[in-house]
Structure formats: structure tokens, C-alpha cells
Chain A
Amino acid sequence: MSYTSFGEFVRILRIKHHEVMGDMAKVLDVKTPFLSAVETGKKNVPTDWIDKLVEHYSLSEFEKRKLENAIEESRTQYKIMAQNASVNQRRVAMQFARSFDDIDDETALKIMELLKKKGDIND
């Protein structure tokens, strides 16, 4: 499994600051294998890491936004809150989740385009 966007971001951060993965694991207060698993996308990025990284490496607003984007692109799991969803909305969510593995990149891009167009029309 290759580095995620988050993995790539922190790799460069460590090089810039002359640190190694063990140093960063200390900053984040986790074991090194956990940090490594997050960097390769086997685990999701814990939410409290943003503040810890911003503070320790004194990241600018621009860098913080880049970090947030990298985390968003690296997510391996998504939660859908369905408490207030209708039966049909739940069915759509389930159907999408079931077919997710079969969607190739090209189809995913086309779906994104259609959703974007729909969003533009509604705006």
C-alpha cells in the first residue's frame, strides 16, 4: 500500500524538521506502528492530530489547510449519520456502500461530474 496524501504530507514535514517517524509518534503520543499504519491508509487519521501537528510544527494557515485536505483525501472510512434519514435515503446509502468496491476511477469521476452539475443547477 502506498503513502496516502497524509503520509506524504508528514513525510515531507519530518524531512524539513530533521525528524524521524519515532519523533513524530512521540509528538502524537502513539506507537510507531500505528502512525505507520495511518500513513499507509490502513487506519484513519485521528481527529486530534491536526491540532497536535499544527502546534508542534508551527504550521501556517495555508499549511494547516493543506494538512486538512490531505487528511480528507486519506480517509479510509466514512460515517453516514442516518438517524434522521428516510427509508429511501437509507436504502440509497446502503446500495452505494455495497456497490462501492466495484466502481472504477473513471466511473467515480463521471459520478462526481454529474453530482457537481446537479449541485450547480440547484445553486
Chain B
Amino acid sequence: MDFRTRPLTRIQVRNLSCILRTLFDISLTGPFPILQLLDRISEVFPGSRYEIVDDSQMPASTMANCKANEDGGYTIAIKDSVYDGAYRCGSGACLGFICHELCHVFLFFLGFTPIFERSFENNILPAYCSVEWQAKALCGELMIPYEESKGLTSKEIQRKYGVSKGFAKTRLRL
């Protein structure tokens, strides 16, 4: 499911990734320590938080989600198996799922919220005004800093930033 929002270009998304790193007081280069930053979400985004839930509490196709909460912020809910994959195995895919939700929180706080209540099937909306594309693109830029990763191979990107093969390959296409 996807929603239309205000447009953002790839360059703007890239700049936003630097701002988000700055908000968390972390270096603009190197891997993005998403698991450590989960505990600091409430400091950067007031009223926001995260929780780890049993796999049975989410549909099989959902890895994590992000919903507005009653405190004026957002709650990121992460499936136990996804958190576990990120924590125990450092799985790039699992780290990516979690980071993707943090990107939603950041973008929502900036006002890149759905313009209409109407939802769309995935990959129908033009990328630049799709809530899902924006979060996905921001997640990639956060986890693989563009300038620093120039010239690296897919394997090197995976090893250096702890990301999935899919993420590394997408970075090489940019």
C-alpha cells in the first residue's frame, strides 16, 4: 500500500539523510547504527517510540510498521524475528526494514505525510511523490552515504555498511 505526498527529489533525499544523522549526533559517514538509535527516537522526535512485538501480532508480509500515536508522535512496531535478525545476525535486510520505519517518522515530522486518505497499490505513484519511495530512498542514503561509497563494489558496500545485497546493488545504479 502506498500514499501520495509532497514531492522530493533524490538530491533532496540525500541532503535529508545528512540532516537526520546530524539530529542523532552521529557521523555523516560510516554505517548507520539503527539499533542503538531506536532508544533515542523519543529525544529527536517528541512523542515517538518503538516496540518489539511477537510475530503473531503482525501480518506475515509486514516486517515492521509506523503509526501515529496518541502522544503526537509515531510508534514503530518491529516484528520479533526482524529485530532478532538485525540484533543477532546483523542481517542487512532486517536492519533495512527497521531503518525504513525510522525514515517514515522523520519524513512525517517534516510534513511529508499522505495528502489524501486514498491508498494506492505499490509502484503506481510516480516515485518522487510516493510515501514509500521517499522512505525507501532515504533509508538507502542513510545506510550507504553516497559520497563515501563512491567507487566501492557491491561486496565492499555490503561489508562496510552492513546492508543487504539488494541495497548495495541499488546504490550502484545511482
Contact between A20 and B84, CB atoms less than 8 A apart? no
In this assembly, does B87 line the interface, its C-beta being within 8 Å of a C-beta of chain A? yes
A33 touches B54 (CB 8 A): yes
Which chain A residues in 45-77 approach chain B with CB under 8 Å? none
Using Cβ atoms and an 8 Å threshold, which residues of chain A touch B167?
none
Chain B, interface residues (CB within 8 Å), range: 20 to 34
- Residue A44 CB within 8 A of the other chain: no
Find A21's partner among B38, B53, B71, B88 (CB 8 Å cutoff). Answer: B38
- Whether a CB of chain A sits under 8 angstroms from the CB of B19 is no
Chain B interface helix/strand/loop/mixed: mixed
If A2-B71, A20-B87, A22-B84 touch, whether A14 touches B53 (CB-CB below 8 Å) is no
Closest A residue to B49 by CB, please name it: A3
A-B contact pairs, 23 of them (CB 8 A): A2-B47, A2-B69, A2-B71, A3-B49, A11-B39, A20-B35, A20-B36, A20-B38, A21-B35, A21-B83, A22-B84, A22-B87, A22-B88, A31-B80, A32-B80, A32-B84, A32-B87, A33-B52, A33-B53, A33-B54, A33-B80, A36-B52, A39-B51
B residues in contact (CB < 8 Å) with A = 35-36, 38-40, 42, 47, 49, 51-54, 69-71, 80, 83-84, 87-88
